[in-house]
Structure 1
Amino acid sequence: MDPTAYVTAFVTLFVVIDPVGLAPMFVALTGEMSHRQRRQVGFRAVCVAFLLLTLFGLAGEQILHGIGISLPAFRIAGGILLLLTAFDMLFERRTERREGQTAPEPQDPSVFPLAMPLLAGPGALATMILLSGQGEGWGYLAVIHLIMGAVLVIALVLFEMASGLARVLGRTGIMVVTRLFGMLLAALSVQFIIDGLKGSGLV
C-alpha cells in the first residue's frame, strides 16, 4: 500500500473528527466539572467513539453487502456526505449545530453528545467504512484503526488542554482552523466521489 494513502487516511479522519474544533465544545460541556471529572468524561467519550468507529471499520462493508449496497455506491454517497460536512465547516453551520447540542446532559456528556455524534458522527463512521474498503488484508485494516486511534488520542490530549487552547486560539483562530479543515475535507470528499465513479465503471 502506498504510504501516501495512510497520510491521506490520517488527514481525512483528523479533518472529519476535528479534535481542534471539539476542544472548545468540550470546555462548554464540562464547564462546571473539576479537572478530574473532565479527564474521566474525556476518556470515556474517546473509548466509546473508538468502539463505534472500530465496529464500522471492521463490519461496515459486510453490513453494506447484507442490505445490497455496493462499495462504489457507498463511496459516492460517503463522498457527498463528507462534502456536505465540508460546506458546514466552511459556512459555520457545523459550529452552530454543535453549539445547539451543548445544553442538555449536564452530569455526564461522555456518551452523548461527545462520543456520538461529535467524535463518532455520521461523517466519521462513513469515513471508516470508506477507508477500510480501500485496501486489502488485516495489516492494512490494523494500520487504519491505529491511525483512527491516534486521532482520538490527539482529541483526548486536546481535551486535557481545552481550556488553555480555547483562550489561545480565540473564536477567530478556531474559525480560521475550521475553515482550513473544511477546504481540505472538500477536496478529499471529491476524491472519494471520483474513486466511487471509477469503481462503478461509470468513469
Structure 2
Amino acid sequence: MASAEALINAFTTILVTVDPPGLAPLFLGLTQGMSRAQRRQVAVRGSMIAFAILALFAVFGAGVLGLLGISMGAFRIAGGVMLFYIAFEMIFEKRQERKEKTTDNAITKDHIHNLAVFPLALPLIAGPGAISATILLAGAMPGAVERGQLIGVIAVCLGLVFAALVIADRLDRLLGMTGRAILTRLLGVLLAALSVQFVVDGVKSAFA
C-alpha cells in the first residue's frame, strides 16, 4: 500500500499537469455557442476519455517501457526534464499560448461533436505531461494495490477537472486574467520542484 506522502505527491503532480483552472477558458472557447447541457456532455465525455487514457498508462505504461528496454531510472530523468519544460512554460505563460493554438486548430479542422476526444481529452487534459507523470508515478508504485490507489488518485483529479469544466464560465469570471496568471505561475513553480525530484530519483536509480 502506498504511503500518504506518495499519494499526495501523485495527486499534486497529476493535478498540476492537467491544470483545471487553465482548461476553463479554453473549454469556453471550444464550446462557444453550445447550450449548458451540450457543454456538460462534452465535459463528461472528455473527462471520461482522459481518465481511460491515463488509467491505461498507469497499468501498462511501465510494461511498455520494459518491452522497449527503457529503465525506469532513464524514464524518470527524461520525464522529469519534460515536466520541467512544462513548468517553465507555465511560469513564463508559454503553455497557455500553445494550448490556445491547439484549440484554434481544432475548431477549424474538427467537427464540433468530436471536441470531447480532440483536443479536449487529448492533448488538453491527458497531454504528454500528464501521461509522462502517470508512468513515472506508476513506476514508483509496482504493486496491484498501489496501482489501484494511483488510478483512484487519477479519478479524483479528473473529477476536479470535470467540475472546473462544468463551472468554467463562473471560474473564468472569478479568477480573471490576473488570478489565472498568478495561479498558473504558482503551480508552475510547484511542478518545477517536483520535476527536479523526479530527475534526482532517476539519477539515483540509474547509478544504483
TM-score (norm. length: structure 1): 0.97
Q: Is the 8 A contact 1:56 1:125 kept in 2?
A: yes
Query: 1:58 aligns to what?
Result: 59
Q: Is the 8 A contact 1:72 1:197 kept in 2?
A: yes
Write the distance in 1 (CA, Å) between the matches of 2:142 and 2:127: 25
Q: CA deviation at 1:107?
A: 1.1
* Larger mean Cα displacement after TM superposition, 134-143 or 186-195: 134-143
Query: 1:39 aligns to what?
Result: 40
Q: Does 1:77 align with 2:83?
A: no
Write the distance in 1 (CA, Å) between the matches of 2:45 and 2:82: 27
Query: 1:107 aligns to what?
Result: 112
Residue number among 145, 150, 158 corresponding to 1:152 in the alignment: 158
Query: 1:118 aligns to what?
Result: 124
Runs of at least 4 residues off by over 6 Å: none
For 1:92, the aligned partner's letter is E
Query: 2:173 aligns to what?
Result: 167
Q: Does 1:196 align with 2:202?
A: yes
What is the CA deviation profile of residues 102-141 of structure 1, one whole-angstrom value per residue up to 9, with x for unaligned ones? 2223613111110000100001111111101112311111
Q: Does 1:140 align with 2:146?
A: yes
Q: Does 1:15 align with 2:11?
A: no
Q: Secondary structure at the match of 1:69?
A: coil
Structure 2, unmatched stretches of 5+, are none
Write the distance in 2 (CA, Å) between the matches of 1:75 and 1:161: 35
Write the distance in 1 (CA, Å) between the matches of 2:62 and 2:68: 10
Q: CA deviation at 1:89?
A: 0.4
For 2:161, the aligned partner's letter is A
Write the distance in 2 (CA, Å) between the matches of 1:111 and 1:12: 23
Q: Is the 8 A contact 1:30 1:106 kept in 2?
A: no
**Root-mean-square deviation (CA), in Å?**
1.0
Query: 1:92 aligns to what?
Result: 93
Q: Is the 8 A contact 1:29 1:106 kept in 2?
A: no
Write the distance in 2 (CA, Å) between the matches of 1:90 and 1:23: 18
Q: CA deviation at 1:192?
A: 0.2
TM-score (norm. length: structure 2): 0.94
Structure 1, unmatched stretches of 5+, are none
Q: Is the 8 A contact 1:23 1:166 kept in 2?
A: yes
Equivalenced residues, count: 202
Could you tell me the percent identity over the aligned residues? 45
What is the CA deviation profile of residues 39-89 of structure 1, one whole-angstrom value per residue up to 9, with x for unaligned ones? 000011011101111111111111111111111000000000000000010
For 2:152, the aligned partner's letter is L
Write the distance in 1 (CA, Å) between the matches of 2:153 and 2:192: 20
Write the distance in 1 (CA, Å) between the matches of 2:93 and 2:75: 26
Write the distance in 1 (CA, Å) between the matches of 2:119 and 2:201: 32
Q: CA deviation at 1:25?
A: 0.9
